[in-house]
Amino acid sequence: MVRPVAAEVRNMLQKIKMDNMERGRRVAGAVSQPAPLSLRRNNFNFDQQQMGSFTSMPKIRPAPNADDTDVDYGNVGERVGLDVFLAKCKNQLGSLPPLIPRNVRHRKNSLGNEGFTIDSAFSYMNTEPIRVFQWNALSQALGTGNDGFVKCPPSAMEWRTRRFRILEEIARHNADVICLQEVDHFMFLRKSLASLGYVGHFTPKPDSPCLYLTNNSGPDGCAIFYKKDKFDLVKLDSRVLEVWKVQSNQVVLSATLRSKKTSKEMVFATTHLKARNGVVMPTLRNEQGKDLMEFLEDQSKGRPIICTGDFNAEPCEPVYQTMTTPSTKTNTRLSSAYKDVLNREVEYTTWKFRDDGEHIQTLDYIFYSPDQMRVDSVLQMPTGEQIGENRLPSFNYASDHFSLLADLRLII
């Protein structure tokens, strides 16, 4: 017998699917021809994707140049220096203002100072540093056709320049592993970041809302990029997260990587849990979190885990406890990198105005295995003054979410 709450969640999932279809009917009279299969599948290098059975609604045609063929980085496979890459971004951005500045906060040592003591320096000799970048980069289709950022100038969302603001934010932190959500221009990112030595993988949402919007660029989903001179890929996997055995429209992508230097293996995963408010939504996200933790334990086989994402949940929601507390079903224990450095989560990871008002929330996290890793530092959030009165997104920042960054050390 299905529990009342479970039945309510099932109805909610079905309503979300129907909302996507209804949006498609409203937009441009529901264009009769679906997006070419080559754009919806082959061109995006989907990794073990599972398409839902509810996707018979005709999709809206993708935007012209959805694959960003106008961007060229020279010979395929040719590397460029980070300074050269950032200079190219700056040139493409023209007279736009600079990115919002960010500061790194180091973990305090036993003496109460940032950094480590002489005694702890000896233990660091048996560790390997790993820099992890986490970001909901904001889907172009959703940002322009669905999210209703009432104080964002439309010109700040023009893809021709915004794509270089996205690249600039990713590249300037020079991370070893990059985890992204709401990616709907994967081919552009893969081509661009390959010039910096990254390898990328992507998995889409089964029924991405992007496909029901005009000028879309295919489905949005999660992506992981890693430096190929630092890691070898051991295993790649993905899963459509379930809520009481019912597939939702959210996914997790994982990459098991082996360090070229130490041969140690780690599991990197990224996800994007269901948004929306309502009485039942925290329960839905918590069930997704439980399924996510079971997936991570199955993937890890005792390996250290780094799991990042936009969880669409404040730290007070049950899913936060699910991610950080072992359960009867899983023995996996994760900790929040930001909480371990700052002794609390940040006050916000997103700050924006929509037609229903101002939203200041902490929704994004970097979780890691504290028994096998240590966190040294994190990237702090900018102040309200630095962000600007119109908040996000803006000419200074390409997304409605701020990126997260953690400098971790793997204990060898």
Residue 43 lies in a domain: no
Instruction: Tell me whether residue 225 is in a domain.
Output: yes
**Of all helices (H) and strands (E), which one includes residue 104?**
strand 104-106
pLDDT per position as a tens digit, 157-183: 999 999 999 999 999 999 999 999 999
Is the model's pLDDT at 32 over the cut of 60? no
Number of structural domains found in the chain:
1
Which of the residue ranges 6-20, 21-35, 281-295, 324-338 would you say has the lowest mean pLDDT? 21-35
Closest CA to 168 of 236, 85, 246: 85
pLDDT digits (tens, 9 = 90+) for 312-344: 999 999 999 999 998 878 889 999 999 999 999
- Looking at residue 138, what is its pLDDT? 98
pLDDT tens digit sequence for 82-127: 999 999 999 999 999 999 999 999 998 766 666 655 445 546 678 9
Q: Are 136 and 399 in contact (CB under 8 A)?
A: yes
**Is 99 domain-assigned?**
yes
Q: What is the pLDDT of residue 35?
A: 41
> What is the overall mean pLDDT for the chain?
87
- Summarize pLDDT for 373-393 with one digit per residue, the tens: 999 999 999 999 999 999 999
pLDDT score for 9: 65
Tell me, yes or no, whether 40 lies in a domain.
no
How far apart are alpha carbons 391 and 93 in whole angstroms?
20
Report the alpha-carbon distance of residue 144 to residue 229 in Å, rounded: 36
| Average pLDDT of the segment spanning 277-283 | 91
Name the band, by pLDDT with cuts 50, 70 and 90, for residue 64: confident
Q: Map residue 335 onto helix, strand or coil.
A: strand
Position 3 scores a pLDDT of 54
Instruction: State the pTM of this model.
Output: 0.89
Q: 289: part of which helix (H) or strand (E)?
A: helix 281-300
Range of the domain at 228: 82-411
Cβ pair 27, 50 in contact under 8 A: no
What confidence tens digit (pLDDT) does each residue in 188-236 have? 999 999 999 999 999 999 999 999 898 899 999 999 999 999 999 999 9
Number of neighbours of residue 352 by Cβ within 10 angstroms: 25
**Cα–Cα distance, 45 to 151 (Å, whole number):** 35
Yes or no: say if 203 and 222 are a contact pair by the CB < 8 Å rule. yes
Domain membership of residue 33 (yes or no) is no
Buried b / exposed e over 58-74, threshold 16 CB at 10 Å, is bbbbbbeebbbeebebe
Q: Quick: pLDDT tens for 361-378.
A: 999 999 999 999 999 999
**What's the distance, CA 1 to chain centroid?**
36
Q: Is the pLDDT of residue 145 over 60?
A: yes
Q: Give me the CATH number covering residue 285.
A: 3.60.10.10
Write the CA distances from 147 to 57, 276, 311, 384, integer angstroms: 21, 12, 17, 21
67-77: pLDDT as tens digits: 798 898 776 66
Instruction: Give the tokens for residue 355.
Output: 């037609």
Which spans in 254-346 are helix H?
Answer: 281-300, 318-324, 337-342
Share of the chain above pLDDT 70, in %: 82
pLDDT of 274? 96
In terms of Cα–Cα distance, which of 63, 65, 57, 66 is closest to 32? 57
**The predicted structure's pLDDT at residue 34:** 42
- Would residue 404 count as lying in a domain? yes
Question: What pLDDT is stored for residue 59 in this prediction?
Answer: 67
Amino acid identity of residue 239, one-letter, is R
Can you give the pLDDT at residue 43? 40
Assigned domain for 54 exists: no
The predicted pLDDT at position 125 comes to 78
Residue 39 domain-assigned (yes or no): no
- Largest distance between two CA atoms of the chain: 68
